[in-house]
Amino acid sequence: MRTAAFPFRAIPHALFSLFFPADCRICNTPLGRWTRVPVCASCIAAPAPLEAEYFCSLCRTPFLNPHPLDQHGVCAACRSGLLGFDRATSFGFYEGHLRGLIHLFKYAGMRPLAHPLAQLLERALPVDEAYDVVVPVPLHWKKKWQRGFNQAELLARHLAKRRRLPLLKALRRRKSTEAQATQSIAGRRRNVAGAFMAQPGVPLAGKRVLLIDDVMTTGATASACAAALKRGGAKSVSLLTLARVDRRPGTN
C-alpha cells in the first residue's frame, strides 16, 4: 500500500502549520485538534460583551457617570449632530481577547477568524431595528492591496449572509487616512471629512443601512461614511462594530 503521508509532502509549510498549529496564538496552550484557525476554543469564546454603567442611548459611548447624558440618555456629540450616523453599537471594548483576535484577523491575515468574529457582531445586532442593506467601511485601495483583504468587508459578508440581507459595497475611500491613532478627535474628523463618497449608481435611496467596521475609535471614520451614505440618499445609518476603544478617563 502506498504511504498515506505522500499528499502531505506537497503541502507548503505555511498551509501545513495553518491546519496543524502547535499552540494557540493568544494563550499559547497547545492545540489538540485540527483547526483552520490557530486559536483555542476558549480564546475564541472569551470576548465579553461591552459593559458600562452609563451609555449614550444613541452612540453607546460609555461614561463614568450620568452627567454627560441628557434626560433622554443622549450625549453631547449626538445632541449636536456631530455624529453622522443615527446609532452605534459594538460587541465589546477593544481590549483583551477581542483585541487579540482582531489583531490576528487583521494584521496576521487569519481570514477564517471572520466567521467567529461575525458571530460576535450578530450577537450585538440591535433587535429593535430593521435594515435594508449591509455596507462595509471601505479601505483605501492601497491598504487593501497591501493587506489582501478588507476586514470590514469580510465581516459584513458573513453577517449579510446570516441575516439574508444584501451586501452593498456602496462606499469608496478617496484618500488614505493613515496614522489616525495619534491624532486628536478634531484632527481625526478633519482628516476623514470628505474621505468617502457613495459609489455612483449604487441604489441607496431610502435605504436603512447597517454600516460595518471592525473597530470604532472616535467614530470619525464611521461618521464620514454615514454622511457620504446620506448624501447618496440613505434614509438612516446604523453602525455596528466588533469593538470600540474605551475613551473614558482612567480606563486606558
The nearest distance, CB 113 to Zn ion, in angstroms, is: 13
- Nearest partner of 169 among 206, 209, 119, judged by Cα: 209
Alpha-carbon separation of residue 154 from 103, 128, 248 (angstroms): 15, 24, 30
Instruction: Retrieve residue 246's grid coordinates.
Output: 474605551
The nearest distance, CB 61 to Zn ion, in angstroms, is: 5
Range 72-91, binding Zn ion (CB under 5 A): 75, 78
* Total residues binding Zn ion (CB under 5 A): 10
Coil, helix or strand at residue 189? helix
The nearest distance, CB 207 to Zn ion, in angstroms, is: 23
Other beta carbons within 10 angstroms of residue 148's beta carbon come to 8
Among 59, 110, 198, 210, binds Zn ion (CB under 5 A): 59
- The span of 14-22, 54-62, 163-171, 214-222 binding Zn ion (CB under 5 A) equals 54-62
The nearest distance, CB 70 to Zn ion, in angstroms, is: 10
Nearer to Zn ion, 58 or 202 (CB): 58
Separation CA 129–CA 146 (nearest Å): 35
Other beta carbons within 10 angstroms of residue 33's beta carbon come to 8
- The span of 25-33, 118-126, 208-216, 235-243 binding Zn ion (CB under 5 A) equals 25-33
Among 50, 56, 154, 155, binds Zn ion (CB under 5 A): 56
How many contiguous H segments (helices) and E segments (strands) does the chain have?
A: 10, 8
Q: Does 104 bind Zn ion (CB under 5 A)?
A: no
Other beta carbons within 10 angstroms of residue 47's beta carbon come to 24
Separation CA 125–CA 210 (nearest Å): 10
Q: Does 26 bind Zn ion (CB under 5 A)?
A: yes
- Nearest partner of 108 among 138, 153, 147, judged by Cα: 147
Phi, psi for residue 244 in degrees, rounded to 5? -130, 145
- The span of 39-47, 63-71, 166-174, 236-244 binding Zn ion (CB under 5 A) equals 39-47
Among 43, 113, 154, 211, binds Zn ion (CB under 5 A): 43
- The span of 13-21, 38-46, 184-192, 194-202 binding Zn ion (CB under 5 A) equals 38-46
Q: Does 220 bind Zn ion (CB under 5 A)?
A: no
Instruction: Retrieve residue 89's grid coordinates.
Output: 453599537
Q: Does 58 bind Zn ion (CB under 5 A)?
A: yes
- Contact residues toward Zn ion (CB under 5 A) are 24, 26-27, 40, 43, 56, 58-59, 75, 78
